[in-house]
């Protein structure tokens, strides 16, 4: 067995693991990252074909925290953050047989056909409605109580589809949307809370959280690839299989198969950034009763289909894309327009679309064959995006993610407790990743900063 000594071993070369390892190596620590995949980036992967640049996983993030700007600034232009065009603020919601603009201002909110007249009137009373008392209230129940059913159906439900590919009835607000939950808890109302937040003075650092939609110049995977380069290729061990961690008197021993031999990394600290399903095997020295509260985390399956059209003719696509409320009973969750948001994602007269299919409520869609999906896309190009009937994509690539997005449902409290207990019991072992702390890329980067701070 080959032995390596390090200060920190990071399991998982996704965005969380690579950002953490990069920050730690900048502090002068000796860090090793291992991943069972053959590539660095985890769920983030960019493809380039026939003039289209498309993603198999996430398409965009939001600069929700200062840490995102700080990370890109620290990379000194080696990977450039690309903000989406202003028009990406336009978002559409499917109702009936077409996409409608999601209103932003007051006037448009009054005229939109998305919400019922009674809910539009009822929303004026939102600031005066009583605060909820059930801490485990679902997003559906909370939003229906405060905003009305049509707002749940045509705003909250599609928003949750877009973020969680989830079911509003089972996602628990305080875990899934903590900011929204806190608006009600701290200010008594979403509207009052949002106004109060807007008035709060902002420090220069707060202003780095621009709230803009971002990708990277040339595709999202430039970020993990740049981070891996900075950490040093020799410190990122890919295709590392059958990893297990064992506590030692001082620190931990991580062993795994790599290039036909068993490797052992001995380090004072180990940080895991893997999905909940990987935890029992990785930490097999911990009682299964304890790890089962982590491994029972449900992941929504998602299929993403990259669709390229080389010439859209007279059709022009502006905006972020369209989302489909579940009550509309269509097969797709949403269609994003990446080439409308970012430079050089499609040939000059063409467009790139990203179809999201499946999710918690339509998991069976991932069992459809490629042929079935392709004919569904051809149909939707006509019915939803209004291309002439029979228009065929010039490029189509189907990506299935069986364990895509963790669902922060009622079991989350027990999961967070189990994580805390394990960390207390085994000092130096830290459980990060999307099992806690949020599911989006911005959450992952922020968590990496927090994890790196824990190691002195
Ligand atoms: C289809 C899809 C669409 C998404 N859309 C968006 C979006 O629009 N906006 C957004 O902000 N976020 C989006 N996300 C979420 C975003 O991709 C994640 O937040 C982020 O990439 C997760 O990074 P991570 O490092 O925490 O996890 P991962 O990227 O999952 O990395 C974990 C790594 O651990 C490795 N690993 C697991 N088990 C082991 C083991 N036993 N041994 C060794 N290695 C192991 C895995 O191979 C993997 O590389 C999307 C995700 C998917 C799947």
Contact 440, 59 (CB under 8 A): no
Of 262, 220, 276, 242, nearest to 80 (Cα)? 220
Per residue in 370-400, pLDDT tens? 999 999 999 999 999 999 999 999 999 999 9
Q: In sequence order, what are the residues at sequence separation of 6 or more whose Cβ sits closer than 8 angstroms to the Cβ of residue 203?
A: none
pLDDT in tens, 217-230: 999 999 999 999 99
Distance CA 138, CA 155 (A): 15
- CB-CB contact of 162 with 333 (8 Å): yes
Q: CA distances (Å), 202 to each of 24, 63, 67, in order?
A: 29, 16, 15
Q: What is the predicted pLDDT for the residue at 108? A: 76
Any bridge partners for residue 81, and if so which? Answer: 216
For residue 389, the model assigns a pLDDT of: 95
* Ligand 1 atom 10 nearest Cα: 440
Instruction: Give the distance (Å) from ligand 1 centre to CA of residue 44.
Output: 7
d(CA 56, CA 431): 26
DSSP state of 138: B
Place of tokens 């991943």: 35
pLDDT tens-digit map of 140-183: 999 999 999 999 999 999 999 999 999 999 999 999 999 999 99
Residue-level pLDDT at 195:
93
- Maximum Cα–Cα distance for the chain, whole Å? 70
pLDDT of residue 241: 98
Low-confidence ranges of the chain (pLDDT < 50): none
The pLDDT value given to residue 109: 77
CA 416 to the chain's CA centroid: 19
Structural domains of the chain, with CATH: 2-42+221-297+408-454 (3.50.50.60), 115-207 (1.10.3110.10), 299-406 (3.90.660.20)
- Eight-state DSSP code of residue 85: P
**406 C-beta closer than 6 A to ligand 1:** no
- Separation CA 197–CA 182 (nearest Å): 11
CB 293 within 8 A of CB 40: no
Question: Is there a contact between 44 and 23 (Cβ–Cβ < 8 Å)?
Answer: no
pLDDT at 286: 97
Which residue among 9, 12, 45 has the greatest number of ligand 1 atoms within 8 angstroms of its CB, and so is best to mutate?
12
Q: Is 142 exposed, middle or buried (0-12, 13-18, 19+ CB in 10 A)?
A: buried
11 lines ligand 1 (CB under 6 A): yes
Residue 43 · residue 444 · CB < 8 Å? no
Residue minimizing CA distance to atom 31 of ligand 1: 14
Q: What is the pLDDT of residue 68?
A: 98
pLDDT of residue 202: 93
- Give the pLDDT score at 76: 92
Partners of 2 in the beta sheet? Answer: 263
Position 124 scores a pLDDT of: 87
Can you tell me which residue has the tokens 């990743």? 433
Q: 338 CB under 6 A from ligand 1?
A: no
d(CA 17, CA 20): 5
Torsion 57-431-65-413 (CA) sign: positive
Query: What are 450's two structure tokens?
Result: 């927090």
The pLDDT score that the predictor gives to residue 144 is: 95
**Any atom of ligand 1 within 6 Å of the Cβ of 440:** yes
């Amino acid at each position: 067995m080959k032995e390596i000594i390090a200060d920190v071993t990071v399991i998982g070369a996704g965005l969380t693991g690579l950002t953490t390892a990069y920050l730690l190596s900048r502090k002068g620590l000796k860090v090793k990252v291992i991943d069972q995949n053959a590539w660095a980036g985890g769920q983030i992967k960019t493809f380039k074909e026939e003039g289209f640049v498309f993603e198999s996983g996430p398409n965009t993030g939001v600069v929700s925290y200062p840490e995102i700007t700080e990370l890109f600034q620290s990379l000194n232009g080696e990977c450039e953050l690309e903000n989406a065009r202003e028009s990406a603020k336009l978002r559409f919601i499917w109702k009936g047989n077409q996409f409608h603009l999601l209103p932003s201002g007051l006037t448009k909110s009054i005229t939109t056909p998305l919400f019922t007249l009674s809910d539009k009137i009822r929303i004026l009373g939102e600031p005066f409605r009583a605060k909820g008392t059930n801490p485990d209230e679902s997003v559906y129940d909370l939003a229906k109580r405060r905003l009305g059913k049509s707002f749940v159906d045509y705003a909250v439900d599609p928003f949750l589809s877009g973020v969680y590919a989830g079911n509003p009835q089972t996602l628990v607000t305080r875990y899934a949307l903590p900011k929204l939950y806190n608006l009600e808890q701290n200010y008594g109302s979403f509207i009052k809370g949002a106004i109060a937040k807007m008035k709060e003075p902002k420090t220069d650092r707060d202003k780095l959280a621009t709230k803009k939609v971002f990708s990277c110049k040339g595709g999202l995977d430039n970020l993990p690839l740049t981070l891996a380069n900075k950490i040093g290729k020799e410190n990122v061990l890919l295709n590392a299989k059958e990893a297990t961690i064992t506590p030692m008197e001082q620190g931990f021993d991580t062993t795994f198969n790599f290039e036909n031999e068993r490797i052992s990394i001995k380090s004072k600290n180990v940080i895991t950034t893997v999905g909940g399903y990987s935890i029992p095997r990785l930490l097999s020295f911990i009682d299964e009763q304890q790890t089962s509260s982590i491994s029972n985390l449900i992941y929504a399956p998602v299929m993403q289909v990259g669709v390229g059209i080389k010439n859209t003719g007279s059709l022009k696509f502006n905006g972020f894309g369209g989302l489909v409320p579940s009550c509309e009973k269509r097969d797709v969750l949403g269609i994003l327009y990446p080439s409308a948001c970012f430079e050089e994602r499609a040939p000059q007269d063409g467009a790139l679309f990203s179809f999201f299919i499946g999710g918690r409520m339509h998991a069976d869609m991932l069992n459809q064959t490629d042929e079935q999906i392709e004919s569904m896309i051809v149909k939707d190009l006509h019915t939803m995006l209004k291309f002439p009937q029979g228009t065929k994509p010039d490029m189509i690539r189907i990506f299935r993610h069986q364990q895509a997005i963790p669902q922060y449902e009622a079991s989350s409290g027990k999961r967070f407790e189990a994580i805390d207990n394990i960390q207390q019991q085994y000092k130096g072992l830290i459980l990060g990743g999307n099992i806690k702390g949020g599911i989006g890329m911005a959450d992952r980067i922020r968590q990496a900063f927090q994890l790196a701070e824990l190691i002195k």
